[in-house]
Chain A
Amino acid sequence: MENERGYFEQFLRERTDQFELVAGRKIWTSIYNNIHPSRKWPSVSVCLFMLAFLFLIGHLNAPELVAPETAKHPLFFAENIKATATSENKIGANDLSTEDTKALAEKSGLYRPKDGSSTNKSVHNPIASSRTGTPVKNQHLAPRKPNTYPNPYRTTIQNESIMGVNSAATATKKIEKSVTRTASAGVSKLQAVQIFERNESLVRYIAPQHRTEADNPTSPAPKTWVEQATGQQIRNPGPEPHEGAARENNNSDFNNNGQHAASLKSNMTAQASISLSQEASRLQKDWMEHDIQYNRRKVRPWKGKLEWQAHIASGISYRTLRDNTPDKVHAAEVAAGNDPEQSLSLNNAVRQKPSFGIEAGYQLKYPLLKNIRVKLGAQFNYQQYTIDAFENHHPIGTSLLLSDEETGDVMNVYKTTSLSNLNGVDAVRLHNNSFQFSIPIGLDARIAGNESVQWFAGASIQPAFVISARNFLLSADKRYYVKDNSLLNKAGLYASIETYLSFSRGNYSWQLGPQFRANLLSTNTRLYNVMEHINGLGLKAGVTKKF
């Protein structure tokens, strides 16, 4: 029964064996993605690379923080603390605790407990604590000794009774007043305390009868807490009388020499002010020198070098054709009587005109050398060209010539179309266009110029991805046009060369110059026998700014 196969079956088999269809590229793409699920589109990889690159740029340009270790340095003064002063931490009259004020009074010599005990407590002072290595509260400061300053009114405080400050409460008031006055300028609590402590030369106006044997003018000047902290000799400041000294002072000397005391008072005030300002200047200078040396901020490698550019270019796009038909087909056409010249000169066989194109994009540029910058960007391109053709009112059968370079097979794909290259009923204009996304990678070289005007030349390679397109293909006999996007190359490669003038003004630079963009790969796949290259020539304008 199986011998039923006869001539009919053979006839069918022979005929249907000749029947073939060309599947679109998307079929292969689907198959490929299915059998290679781990491999991604090049565009996805490139997009991920671009995102990672942009993230890296942003991370490297993030502001650097000053190392916290430097803040512990003894000369890390309240300049930084001042910047952080807010309304929340501004000190008020009630912000200081009793213990704090007692400690401050004791340190400044305004107060000494009767029993000789020390509060031994210090308001947190990073300067002293870090400089000496131990917290101030754990230090045993040397008792104050009289200095050699020829001022009879400067002496050591020995007991609680201080002329002008005869009680701890009064001392507390004065401390609070001083700190509050300082704090009213808007500094933080810590700074106010530091400034108070720094004003070591607050007048301790002691009556002569309260002076002790230790008040020896010849004795070396007692070291102030600043001297102890820094190890440096500080010129002894002059005393400064208390405001309430005249009322509270029962010293006859003072009372009997009112005018003399008044002049002395003004002199002492001026001297004290001068000494204070000099001391403050010296400390400030020390701090600045130390800050420069130890608190140097890290150099941001990209700062001032990396720059971005936004650009737009417009011009014309035109097409060049190249015949990729195998030689044996040419020979067959000649043997069949077709015009061999027509089969060899594609560009002469068609009537085409350049058309408007546009480009817009964004680039990052970084100087590799003094006059050379590397650039990387992203841009969109729109290219088009025009074909003059004719349209008929009925479809006509034609074919496209496909050839496989690997196997050498040549195939004719049958098509129908109403568009003719040679003649027809109506003249029409066909618009081939292409909308692409590309990634230019290249170099810019500075040729000449000064700070304001510079002349550059640049070149780049641009991998491109076709987002959308319209494609009219020439038939095998070059007589007809067929609208077909199935043979379009989705990926392309372009090269660009340009030259431009750059005008700098302020933070921005403006560029203007011509650009030529060449298509290195054919617009169509290699199956199609006509290789098409769309090139562009235009004027490019851009604006650049450094990060």
Chain B
Amino acid sequence: MTEAQLLAGCIRKNASAQEALYQRFSPRMFGVCYRFAKNREDAEDMLQESFIKVYTQIAQFRNEGSLEGWVRRIVVHTCINILKRNKKFAETVDIDDVADHIIVREDPAGSLFEVRQIVETIRTLPLGYRTVLNLYAIEGYSHKEIGAMLDIGESTSRSQYTRAKAMLEDLLVNKQIVRRNLASGRLYG
């Protein structure tokens, strides 16, 4: 089923099309939710609420960009809203909760361990650092947009990100997940 067919079917509230859209995008979106959430249960709640919004607002999709990108923006905004609503900023990370259900696409040999460790390391960051880092470095939002979303100032967002980035680099290097090129300072796996 092509993206256009999926879109048309979901607008008509066709159950098959809706399930196909969910099956196609849910693994990656669940990964997005997992990076924002405290634990798997919160991530599932975020995913569920996100897709409900996707189906109810899918008629508003204007074909400006890919459908996946549009879905992803809804997911990110939903995650932020839930975090702000619940204000659950626990710092613990459940390793056992992380161990299951991790998928690596098409490259099971090398990056499985690395990807998992990177994600888990991101989740060990404090909530504020983690959120800003996810939004800026991975999701591509500007500091101005981040400030508007999190109700913080743009400069606060920048400073939060700078500290988050430094902390994450140190963690990744110290855990030997990545190595730092001494000449360029770049990280590599």
Contacts and interface: CB of A to CB of B under 8 A. Distances in A.
Interface string B19-62: 11011101110110011000000011001100110011000000
B138 A18 contact: no
A207 to B, nearest CB: 102
A30 interface: yes
Given A11-B188, A23-B26, A414 B119 contact: no
Nearest to A29: B48
Nearest to A476: B108
Interface in B140-189: 140, 142-143, 158, 165, 169, 178, 186-189
A292 interface: no
A395 to B, nearest CB: 9
Contact of B35 (A16, A28, A36, A404): A16
A31 B31 contact: no
Interface string A460-499: 0000000000000000000000000000000000000000
A20 B27 CA distance: 5
A28 B31 CA distance: 16
Interface in B99-131: 99-108, 111-112, 114-116, 118-119, 122
A13 B19 contact: no
Nearest to A17: B28
19 contacts: A1-B143, A8-B186, A9-B136, A12-B118, A15-B111, A16-B31, A16-B119, A18-B107, A19-B31, A19-B104, A20-B105, A23-B47, A28-B19, A32-B15, A35-B55, A35-B56, A406-B23, A414-B101, A415-B100
Contacts of B105: 18, 20, 411
Contact of A27 (B47, B111, B115): B47
B47 to A, nearest CB: 6
A18 B27 CA distance: 10
B1 interface: yes
Contacts of A31: 22, 48, 51-52, 55
B137 interface: yes
B52 A21 contact: no
B18 interface: yes
Nearest to A415: B100
B114 to A, nearest CB: 7
A11 B31 contact: no
A31 B50 CA distance: 9
A335 interface: no
Contact of B102 (A23, A28, A410, A414): A414
A155 B187 CA distance: 139
A7 interface: yes
B103 A22 contact: yes
Given A12-B118, A35-B52, A19 B137 contact: no
A399 interface: yes
Contacts of A117: none
Given A13-B137, A18-B115, A21-B101, A2 B187 contact: no
A184 interface: no
Contacts of B18: 32, 35
A16 B158 contact: no
B30 A11 contact: no
Contact of A15 (B48, B55, B114, B165): B114
A36 B31 CA distance: 26
Interface of B: 1, 13, 15, 18-20, 22-24, 26-28, 30-31, 34-35, 43-44, 47-48, 51-52, 55-56, 99-108, 111-112, 114-116, 118-119, 122, 136-138, 140, 142-143, 158, 165, 169, 178, 186-189
Contacts, number: 140
Given A28-B22, A34-B52, A406 B137 contact: no
A262 interface: no
Nearest to A10: B137
Ordered nearest first, which 3 A-B pairs have the shortest CB separation? A20-B27, A21-B30, A20-B103
A17 B108 CA distance: 14
Interface in A397-433: 399, 404, 406-407, 410-416
A406 to B, nearest CB: 6
Contacts of A411: 27, 103, 105
B51 to A, nearest CB: 5
B119 A19 contact: yes
B52 A412 contact: no
Contacts of B138: 9, 12-13, 16
B102 A30 contact: no
A448 B96 CA distance: 63
Contacts of B187: 7-8, 11
Contacts of A36: 13, 15
A406 B143 contact: no
Contacts of A17: 28
A18 B101 CA distance: 13
Nearest to A402: B103
A416 B100 contact: yes
